[in-house]
Chain A
Amino acid sequence: MTSRWRLILLLPAFLVLAAAAAEVILGLPAFGDPLTRYGTAVNTLAPALRNVSNVVASVMYDIRGIDSLGEESMLVCAVTAAVMLLRGRRGEDSSEEAGRIPGRAQGERMDAMVLMCRLFATALFLFGAYVVLHGTITPGGGFQGGTIAASSFALLYLGGGYAVWRCLLHSPVLVALEGFGALAFVLCAAVPLAFGYTALQNVLPLGTWKDLYSGGLMVIVNAAIGVAVIGSFGALLLEFMEETRAPKGRVDEEDT
């Protein structure tokens, strides 16, 4: 099918969709109207009941915690599938050699740049850990902070080059972090269940308002998600980078 035909077919589809969208848009409540009852109830009750100042976190990790458990499993599944697909026939072997295009000159890295990248990567990782740990108090949490911390790995690569980067990051460590985080989350859901409570019930003491420990079980769930996200995104980055490398000892790149 040529792209011309696709566009011709798209036109009636868009006409139908536009009519449906117009119907829905006119039926929706006006922008900025007072909240739904659920949102209002959560906003009123969550700070008092759970002792956390970040109500979004209390929705994520406690009130709708089972949703987050599903989301976390989805993330782990998607990352596992991506890693399996990327490894393909390459298997688990990895190379520490950078792939190069023959004839392209490779300049020396400047020490200043390497140093700056390492300093900033450390700072970025610490900032990510800070965002994770303060997830129940200020904006942030496991998912956001984990992504920030994992992006420091890219900065390390930028500064140190591939060989140095592979010395610092090990695939088994990242995969173990991912699995450990996901397992800790599942345990947070399962352990209260084993003692006769509901899954993810907040059985720990709630802690002090605006303190690093506030929200009870949420603190553990939050940290577990952070660890899992760091592992997941680190493993993804590593496998995508591995794709650009020349396989060690193999000249042919055929993969069919």
Chain B
Amino acid sequence: MNVLAWCVAAWLMGVGIYGVVTSRNYVHLIGCLSVCQSATYVLLLGIGFRWGAGPPIYYDHPPGTPAVDPVVQAFVLTDIVVSAAMTALLLAIALQVHKRRGTLDPQHLRPLRPTE
């Protein structure tokens, strides 16, 4: 149980990398990158967790009651926002690639080849 959270994070990262490597479509590849990124959410939130502690928001309970680590939660929030912005940027690139080359299969795309 002690290492389960870390194993889940490693497994998510592995599955994401496998998806990126075997991907046949850029949109699918972008989805796989998001899976890789979710490994970091699990890792960070796991590091901040503490048994028997509440949320670090002292609205219902007074300050001083045990709470999980707020710093890593802020990191995860940053992580998610950056992930969303990057996904949008990558999807925009994928759209342009499809317009210019007519395909989104990484195997049929050669980098820096002039368009016919």
Contact = CB atoms under 8 A, between A and B. Distances in A.
A67 interface: yes
Name B's interface SS.
helix
B81 A143 contact: yes
Given A56-B77, A64-B74, A31 B69 contact: no
Interface stretch (A46-54, A159-167, A187-195, A215-223): A46-54
Contacts of A64: 71, 74
A166 B55 CA distance: 41
Interface string A33-66: 1111011001110111000011110111000100
Contacts of A10: 17-18, 21
B18 A38 contact: no
Contact of A56 (B57, B63, B88): B57
B2 to A, nearest CB: 4
A137 B100 contact: no
Given A34-B50, A59-B74, 4 more contacts: A31-B6, A79-B85, A85-B92, A143-B80
Contacts of A55: 56-58, 67, 70
Contacts of B33: none
With a 10 A CB-CB cut-off, give which of B2, B17, B56, B57 has the most chain A CB atoms.
B56
Task: Tell me the dominant secondary structure on chain A's binding face.
Answer: helix
B5 interface: yes
Contacts of A137: 59
The CB with the most chain B CB atoms within 10 A, among A35, A64, A86, A88, is that of A35
A56 B70 contact: yes
A6 B23 CA distance: 10
Contact of B89 (A21, A60, A81): A81
Nearest to B3: A25
A35 B50 contact: yes
B10 interface: yes
24 contacts: A3-B24, A17-B17, A28-B3, A28-B47, A31-B1, A31-B6, A32-B50, A35-B48, A38-B71, A39-B68, A39-B69, A39-B70, A43-B70, A54-B57, A74-B85, A78-B82, A78-B89, A82-B85, A82-B89, A85-B92, A143-B77, A147-B84, A210-B59, A240-B92
Closest 5 CB pairs of A and B: A39-B69, A78-B85, A47-B63, A82-B92, A59-B74
A250 B30 CA distance: 31
| Most chain B CB inside 10 Å of its own CB: which residue of A14, A39, A46, A147 | A39
Interface residues of A, number: 66
Nearest to A74: B82
Interface in B1-42: 1-7, 10, 13-14, 17-18, 21-22, 24
Contact of A82 (B46, B56, B88): B88
A31 B78 contact: no
